[in-house]
Amino acid sequence: MPLIAAGAAYYCYTKVNGAKSFASLAALLEYVQSLKPETEAWVDVQGEGFEGRRRLLQELPLGTTLPPSVREGAVSPGECDIVELQPFAGNYLTAVVSCRPAAEGEAAVGQPEPVAPSESGSTGADGAGGAALAPADEDLTDGPVWCTCVATRTRLLTLHCAPFEGLAETRHQVQSLAAAAAETPLTSFALATLLTFTAEMLLPDPTTLFSEVDCIDEMVLLIAPGERDQPDLLRRIALLRRRISAFRGQLYLKERLLQDCMMPAVRGSFAAAGGARIAALYNECLEKTTQVADRLDDARDVLNQANLNFVTGVSMRMSQSSANMDFRMQILGQVATICLPLNLVASIFGMNCTVPFQTDTHPTLTAFWCIIGLMVAWCMVCSVPIVRSLRAGNQAKAIVPSDE
């Protein structure tokens, strides 16, 4: 499970008492246990280790009994961007979502300044918890923050190891609208707001990616054969493919998560109580995610077409080189055909009769010069088609001949 070290923070919000922060887990449990069973509350815990999470799930009054396997799955989830609903036996919902880690300057946004805790452990609505480091038993690695959600009719519990983008916005949205809309249940509204905000914050900005894909598409046919240009182009295409696949994989998980939240089983449960407002949140977020996913698919299609154009260009160059070599071999074959009769004539005269070619032994060289003249005339006459072919060059014919 990807976790990032961060200070511990304990937060609870109810419509009656508002938002409160606590200095320790014990103070948070004492406060939640003092609430009435029908009081809706959102409990957010950050930075607790495995043992603290087990204690929280055992002692926190959720209004239902969680099976041991569900508790262990919430303590140490094995996969992210999933949602599971048990509408009959326990009437609870569990979800694990991947979130973008908050920047260092944004980690404290929405967090009140730490003050000394009161006797009951609560610091009030403007207080904050301690700044203890994450426990040593956490498996801390770089990567997205996994937020585990356990929801019942009256309780929403969120567990995460570090602040993430969308958490402060979710708290502000819940505090602003949940109290005003008394008819909307706090649990379903806070859960829907958290899932949609984290999904929107995780949406990648594909502008730079699209610009690089457009540049590749424009320059692919301008790449000349060489030891640098072609390997560099293939490396760029491979890196763009990897980035598109990574972005598309994240969006696929978010699309599946939002679609699961809009299934009939979830729409008829407490997780979708609130009617049109909750459905509108999921629909709007799903539309944004689908829009970005479609744009990434278009970019991948353009990149595939650019790669196909590059392969076609390489094949075209190979075909042109092969055609030029065939043309040269054809010219050499014609030259060899012209020279073959001359070789035969020279061989016949050399083996069967003596040709006078020296004035010391023969009074006249007329026969020799006649033979030489005939050979030269033969070469000149037969070279006319070759010269015409060389001047015309290699003219490729159409693949499909015309009727004219």
**Tokens 């280790």, located at residue:** 49
Instruction: Report the chain's terminal Cα–Cα distance, integer Å.
Output: 72
Does residue 147 sit in the same domain as residue 248? no
The residue with tokens 């008394």 is 182
Residues 285 and 350 in one domain: no
- Residue 396 pLDDT more than 50? yes
Residues 359 and 288 in one domain: no
d(CA 207, CA 290): 16
H helices of 203-271, in order, are: 207-219, 229-261, 264-267
pLDDT tens digits, residue range 70-100?
Answer: 888 888 888 888 888 887 665 888 999 988 8
Position 124 pLDDT exceeds 90? no
Among candidate residues 202, 221, 241, the one where a domain is terminated:
202
Question: In which band, very low, low, confident or very high, does the pLDDT at 133 lie, cut at 50, 70 and 90?
Answer: very low
Per-residue DSSP letters for 263-277?
SHHHHTSGGGTTTHH
> What token pair was written down for 323?
């055609």
For 343-388, what is each residue's pLDDT tens digit? Answer: 887 787 766 777 676 666 667 778 778 888 888 899 899 889 888 8
As given in the structure block, the two tokens for residue 142 are 């770089």
CATH code of the domain containing 3: 3.30.460.20
Number of domains in the chain: 3
252 shares its domain with 302: yes
Which of 165-179, 287-301, 310-324 is modeled with the greatest confidence?
Answer: 287-301
Residues 238 and 373 in one domain: no
pTM: 0.68
Tens-place pLDDT, residues 178-216: 656 667 788 888 899 999 998 888 887 788 888 888 888
Query: Is residue 261 located within the same domain as residue 283?
Result: yes
Residue 359 in any domain: the answer is yes
- Grade residue 130 by pLDDT with cuts at 50, 70 and 90: very low
Neighbours of 133 (CB within 10 A): 11
Q: 175 — phi, psi (to 5°)?
A: -65, -30
Q: Which domain holds residue 340?
A: 320-386
Task: Determine whether 394 is exposed, middle or buried from the number of CB atoms within 10 Å of its CB (0-12, 13-18, 19+).
Answer: middle
276/220 same-domain check: yes
State residue 318's pLDDT score.
84
Instruction: Say if residue 57 is in the same domain as residue 189.
Output: yes
Whether 112 has a pLDDT exceeding 60, the answer reads no
Look at 222-231, 244-253, 310-319, 378-387 and tell me which has the smallest mean pLDDT.
222-231
Residues 237 and 297 in one domain: yes
Query: Contact 81/98 with Cβ under 8 angstroms?
Result: yes
